[in-house]
Structure 1
Amino acid sequence: MKKKWAAAAISAALFLCTGAGAYAGANLQEIKAYLNSGIKIKVDGKPVKLQDAQGNPVIPITYNNTTYLPVRAVSDALKIAVDWDGSTSTVLLGEKVDGVSIDTGEQLSIHTTLDPTFTTYNGKNYKAAITYQGNDSIVLYPKKKYQKLYLQIAAIDKDVDIEFKDSDTFRTLKETTTIKANSGLNTIEVDIGGIDTIWAGVTAKEGGTFFIPLTTSYYK
């Protein structure tokens, strides 16, 4: 239902709320349009309020009997990733073609390490990893740019449980997954469309050790 709603909205000619620099150029045409605060929006039957990236309300525009909706606000309401490629003046909706490593320089956990002694697993050095003997809380920052998270994790000696929540609302994104000891690297797929920050709770049973390579875990 959400995908069909998004397609209909896009076909109605949406516009992206970007910086002023993105609009410079010869493609601009001045028009006379109207802010139409009388239009209400529902997603799957539930009323929603359209907001910009700062949380400010945005109002649909009516021009020549056609209603134009802000694509970023609509994408957030539908939990669909949206981005802007300034080099090609292109709005990017949904999954990106290539994955992006979660190793973006952010401090994801206090147990993040670059030490080859701890970033090496089964003879391969992953350069950056989160590894710990015990429980840990991990914070990831997709910043509403992606649809999927593919997180790799290994349980070294004991079973490990991991769960994912929206850090802002604490809504469950994926129920607890149990990683069996000595089962190698497991890849967990999580739907993260429209999510800004993710909390992942790792519980290593009986003092076990887990290993999460950051360079091969990615967003898409």
Structure 2
Amino acid sequence: MKKISFIVLLAATALLLMSAGAFAATKVTAIKAFLNGDIKFVKDGEDWRPKDDRGQEVLPISYNGTIYLPLRVIASAFNFPVAWEGSTQTVKLGEGSTVTNLYSKQVKAEFWSEKSYDIVDKKQLVFEGKQYNGAYAFAAENVGLGWYEGSPNLQLDFGKKYETLHLAMIGQSAMKVRVLNENKQQLAEEISLEEGKVTEIDIDLQGSQQAFVSAYDAANQAEKPLLYVLKDSYVTSDPLPTSR
């Protein structure tokens, strides 16, 4: 399975992941291909339809007797790290890429909460009409306690130092979230989450190997709601862009 998917990844790279700048290069050749909606897919014995990051179905391309799919669609389906470096027109595959998502085996998670889950059941992970493939979830504290040293949190160890953490999160209630490094230094301002809405944000890790994600329930419900840290979140060696 890995060998097959890797071949598809390489083939799809050449056709479907080039930037506008790449098409201006001298080694690019125009082709005539067709979107083929009649093709069916089976993944691990079950019917499967390729979808993009927004949950929209992606039609495969038929060209010269070969079927092609976008690289990121395949990478997401098989939890395979992939990164695009536009400055050098390079696709980076595997753990050596500058981008590592939370599906990676090198990322270790530890919970400090009375309720915590590593969720793999996809039926629980459809948010705003999009299917996600995995998440870490833990119970937030009640607002009355505010922040304290033992606040419920998720500790992430990325295996090595990174510069930027891209977090995708959703809460069962309106929440306040903090992100700290291994020295318990706060890395960004408090993040406000709306109930049931996926929020994505970039955090400057400042060369950290670990991060703590802590949360409390801004609505102060009696039943402590869950915060989902989606495994589509990732870390990268690239620094956070400087605002001008």
Q: With structure 2 as the length reference, what TM-score do the two structures score?
A: 0.45
Higher RCO by CA contacts (8 Å cutoff, separation 6 or greater): 1
Q: With structure 1 as the length reference, what TM-score do the two structures score?
A: 0.49
